[in-house]
Amino acid sequence: MSDGIDTRTNWLDPEALAAVRGQVPLVYVDAVPVRVDDMGQITHVGMLLRQAPDGSISRTVVSGRVLLGERVREALLRHLEKDLGPLALPRIPPEPAPFTVVEYFPDPSISGFHDPRHHAVSLAFVVPVSGDCNPTQEALDLGWFTPEQVVAADMRRDMTGGHDRLVRLALASAGRLP
């Protein structure tokens, strides 16, 4: 065995990933970034503007795969930093617990959560952020919306894949659904 083998990358080449996606559900994390007031009440929800898996431009939450050997907390931090920038300062507890589990399917009629690429199981979290957020890489923009704005019909139309339901579930889990 060579000492030069990197066992921590855990990335599959595109062909291998396509094969796995066709045969096994993948584990993901979804993070709904929020701003909170001094009492811990959600005042704003951060929504990314990006290209969705179906090719449309839509508002989404932070989302991504959990790598082999990676703790859920590490995956959350990695995806939050990748999408919101290194100065977002997310406040994730040492042992985070999801507010729900979401199952994405290629067929949107199965669960209402849709990803045309594969079946994925996602642990969903509400994550307070306190720093300056500057979207990086894949995100086109980041907007902060009040709970009332983020559940309004026009905003919900801008979300795909069931993220409108996910945001409402997140707000409800925090006692903040308008």
Please determine, for residue 3, whether its predicted confidence score (pLDDT) is greater than 60: no
Cβ atoms of residues 143 and 133 within 8 Å? no
Please determine, for residue 88, whether its predicted confidence score (pLDDT) is greater than 80: yes
**Does residue 108 or residue 4 have the better pLDDT?**
108
User: Quick one: pLDDT band at residue 20, thresholds 50, 70, 90?
Assistant: confident
User: Quick one: pLDDT band at residue 9, thresholds 50, 70, 90?
Assistant: low
Task: Flag whether 6 is in a domain.
Answer: no
- Tell me the C-alpha to C-alpha distance, in Å, between residue 72 and each of 36, 38, 47, 64, 135: 23, 27, 21, 11, 21
Q: Per the structure, how many domains does the chain have?
A: 1
Task: Flag whether 27 is in a domain.
Answer: no
Task: Flag whether 114 is in a domain.
Answer: yes
Q: Provide the terminal-to-terminal Cα distance of the chain, rounded to the nearest Å.
A: 58
User: Quick one: pLDDT band at residue 53, thresholds 50, 70, 90?
Assistant: low
pTM (predicted TM-score)? 0.88
Task: Flag whether 122 is in a domain.
Answer: yes
Q: For 97-151, what is each residue's pLDDT tens digit?
A: 999 999 999 999 999 999 988 899 999 999 999 988 887 666 778 999 999 999 9
pLDDT of residue 19: 83
Task: Flag whether 30 is in a domain.
Answer: no
SS3 content of the chain, % helix, strand, coil (to 5): 25, 30, 45
Could you tell me the residue range of the domain that residue 113 belongs to?
41-173
CATH of the domain at 49: 3.90.79.10
